[in-house]
């Protein structure tokens, strides 16, 4: 092997002398050396930026060393020109390590007691904004509790909570512009709540009544609102990511001062659409903010069975996307990271990936019992000791912006409004049967007309098999 490398070096030298390959083998300019590959050494506030991307510059990002330590051999001063750009070469066989010896640190502002960590780098929030953020986080908690109980009572068929992830919902929404287009997964109702979707509108969707914008054809919690730039939730996992790349690219072509924002869980990163979405956005330089809620569980599958990499944040760099890992239970950190990411996406026309570290305290949905695959003590620990709502509440209270009296009034009022919304939603008629067949085609096809006639006949023949309020 050593002899082979020696002969290779001699051959390169001869070729350079005889063929003048200066266009292929280029001496490095040592006054501006290419970044040396080393292990990550990130501060808690820094975005990962691939050294191979020179299309953009940002004052919000510090230059970071890369993964692989290059050797000091003489030949390392050379570069090869390939279609993808110039790249150095080495005569030493060395593989990129499967992961760094040190995990990417997690950006955080508030400690577990709601105190600002000294020397924290974050975007300040006003009293008005902070109070509204806390009010919405508390409202989301109450909403989850009431609707969950309504499902257990048989009043709605399905529900899914955001318990433990309220900070990601509300803080990310607060950091965005109303013009930004949101493509959610299914655990982001707080984003829609922040944008003005009312408790009555949530209730109407969950009951699938005549006031439901989806005409009763979606599962409960599959909210959507054109008015609030919030795409309708759909069950297939990760399909919203390639769509977000397209939406972001469209906003770019229209020169809009806005970006696409899409959410996904850690389990969704195992889908091909996750990788396609990131790659599309990176190559097309689309202004998209990808937010991954790494909450530890994809239904009953633990993250240790999902991937061997250091979480999600490192996947962004593989696709040439600036990335950051943030404490998803810290509302101030989430707000600062999303607002900064949004600014970069819009002003620099580039995608950004955010991995929000959190924990799914609730069951995956009302169809799940998470105590079958994880310890009840673990759930209780995250619910009480690592609660994102309590942490932010302590900070707001310490600033003198919130009191126990405010707390009692808010939760009592929200509970009353929700119960009234549910009672009103129950009294609405259901969508007529014909809505099952509308909006599929501009003009109904023959087979759809036949199915409609057949279903009507079945309902008339066996009305006892259909719920009260169901009508043709």
**Cα first-last separation, the chain:** 80
Mean pLDDT value across the chain: 87
Q: Who wins on pLDDT, 99 or 217?
A: 217
**What pTM, to 2 d.p., does this model score?**
0.84
* pLDDT band with cut points at 50, 70 and 90 for residue 77: low
> Is the per-residue pLDDT at 79 higher than 50?
yes
How far is residue 297's CA from residue 364's CA, in Å, rounded to a whole number?
8
pLDDT in tens, 160-206: 999 999 999 999 999 999 999 999 999 999 999 999 999 999 999 99
Please check whether residue 230 is in contact with residue 191, taking contact to mean a CB–CB distance below 8 angstroms: yes
Q: What is the three-class DSSP state of 223?
A: coil
Report the share of the chain in percent with pLDDT over 90: 74
Task: Enter the DSSP assignment of 329.
Answer: T
Phi-psi region of 400 (alpha: psi -120 to 50; beta: other; left: phi over 0): left
Alpha carbon distance 311, 332 (integer Å) = 22
Provide mean pLDDT across the span 133-148: 98
CB-CB contact of 402 with 396 (8 Å): yes
Would you name the residues annotated as active-site residues?
Answer: 149, 235, 364-365
Between CA 431 and CA 44 the distance in angstroms is: 51
Residue 183 bridge partners (DSSP): 262
Q: Which residues of 94-117 are buried (b: 16+ CB within 10 A; e: fewer)?
A: eeeeeeeeeebbbbbbbbeebeee
Supply the pLDDT for residue 42.
Answer: 34
Given this model, what pLDDT does residue 247 score? 98
pLDDT in tens, 94-112: 998 888 889 999 999 999 9
Backbone angles phi, psi at 261, to 5 degrees: -130, 125
Lowest mean pLDDT segment, chosen from 20-34, 43-57, 228-242, 447-461: 20-34
Lowest mean pLDDT among 60-74, 146-160, 315-329, 372-386: 60-74
**C-alpha distance from residue 472 to each of 7, 218, 434, 460, 466 (Å):** 84, 18, 7, 9, 11
Q: Is pLDDT of 461 > 80? A: yes
Q: Looking at the predicted structure, is the pLDDT value of residue 289 above 60?
A: yes
- Each residue of 44-62: pLDDT tens digit? 344 665 544 434 444 445 4
In angstroms, the CA 396 to CA 39 distance is 38
Contact between 104 and 325 (Cβ < 8 Å): yes
Distance from the Cα of residue 455 to its chain's centroid: 40
Task: Identify the band that residue 465 occupies on the pLDDT scale cut at 50, 70 and 90.
Answer: confident
Report which of 225, 187, 191 is spatially closest to residue 205, judged by C-alpha positions.
225
pLDDT tens profile 204-216: 999 999 999 999 9
Handedness of CA 368, 371, 374, 377 (dihedral sign): positive
Name the residue with higher pLDDT: 84 or 77: 84
Question: What's the mean pLDDT in 79-107?
Answer: 90
* 404-427 helix and 127-152 helix, angle to the nearest 10 degrees: 40
Alpha-carbon distance 427 to 207, whole Å?
Answer: 10
3-state helix, strand, coil in the chain (%, to 5): 45, 10, 45
CA angle, 419 as apex, 413 and 423 as ends, to 5°?
Answer: 145
The enclosing H or E element of 136 equals helix 127-152
Residue 376 pLDDT exceeds 60: yes
pLDDT tens for each residue of 14-33: 444 444 433 333 333 434 33
Q: How confident is the model at residue 404 (pLDDT cuts 50, 70, 90)?
A: very high
- pLDDT, position 432: 87
């Amino acid at each position: 092997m050593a002899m082979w490398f020696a002969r290779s070096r001699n051959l390169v030298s001869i070729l350079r002398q005889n063929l003048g390959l200066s266009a292929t083998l280029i001496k490095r300019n040592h006054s501006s050396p290419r970044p040396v590959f080393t292990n990550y050494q990130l501060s808690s506030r820094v975005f990962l930026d691939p050294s191979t991307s020179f299309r953009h510059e940002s004052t919000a990002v510090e230059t970071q060393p890369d993964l692989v330590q290059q050797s000091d051999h003489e030949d390392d001063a050379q570069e090869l020109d390939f279609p993808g750009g110039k790249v150095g070469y080495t005569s030493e066989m060395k593989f990129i390590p499967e992961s760094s010896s040190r995990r990417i640190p997690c950006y955080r502002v508030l400690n577990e007691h709601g105190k600002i960590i000294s020397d924290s780098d974050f975007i300040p929030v006003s009293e008005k904004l902070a109070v509204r953020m806390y009010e919405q986080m508390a409202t989301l908690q109450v909403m989850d509790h009431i609707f969950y109980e309504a499902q257990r009572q048989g009043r709605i068929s399905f529900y899914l909570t955001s318990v433990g992830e309220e900070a990601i919902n509300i803080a990310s929404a607060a950091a965005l512009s109303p013009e930004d287009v949101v493509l959610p997964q299914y655990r982001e109702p707080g984003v829609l709540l922040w944008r003005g979707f009312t408790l009555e509108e949530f209730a109407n969707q969950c009951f699938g009544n005549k006031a439901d914008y989806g005409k009763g054809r979606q599962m409960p919690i599959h909210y959507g609102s054109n008015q609030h730039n919030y795409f309708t939730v759909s069950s297939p996992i990760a399909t919203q990511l390639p769509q977000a790349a397209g939406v972001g690219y469209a906003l770019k072509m229209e020169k809009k001062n806005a970006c696409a924002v899409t959410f996904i869980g850690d389990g969704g990163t195992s889908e091909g659409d996750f990788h396609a979405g990131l790659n599309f956005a990176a190559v097309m330089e689309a202004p998209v903010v990808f937010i991954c809620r790494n909450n530890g569980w994809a239904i009953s599958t633990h993250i240790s069975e999902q991937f061997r990499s250091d979480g999600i944040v490192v996947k962004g760099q593989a696709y040439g996307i600036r990335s950051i890992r943030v404490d998803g239970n810290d509302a101030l950190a989430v707000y600062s990271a999303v607002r900064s990411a949004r600014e970069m996406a819009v002003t620099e026309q580039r995608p950004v990936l955010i991995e929000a570290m959190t924990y799914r305290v609730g069951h995956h949905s009302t169809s799940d019992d998470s105590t079958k695959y994880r310890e009840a003590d673990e759930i209780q620990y995250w619910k009480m000791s690592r609660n994102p709502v309590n942490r932010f509440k302590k900070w707001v209270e310490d600033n003198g912006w919130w009191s126990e009296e405010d707390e009692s009034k808010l939760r009592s009022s929200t509970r009353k409004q929700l119960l009234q919304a549910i009672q009103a939603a129950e009294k609405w008629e259901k969508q007529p049967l014909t809505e099952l067949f509308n909006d599929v085609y501009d003009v109904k096809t023959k087979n759809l007309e036949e199915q409609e006639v057949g279903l009507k006949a079945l309902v008339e023949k066996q009305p006892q098999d259909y719920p009260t309020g169901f009508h043709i």
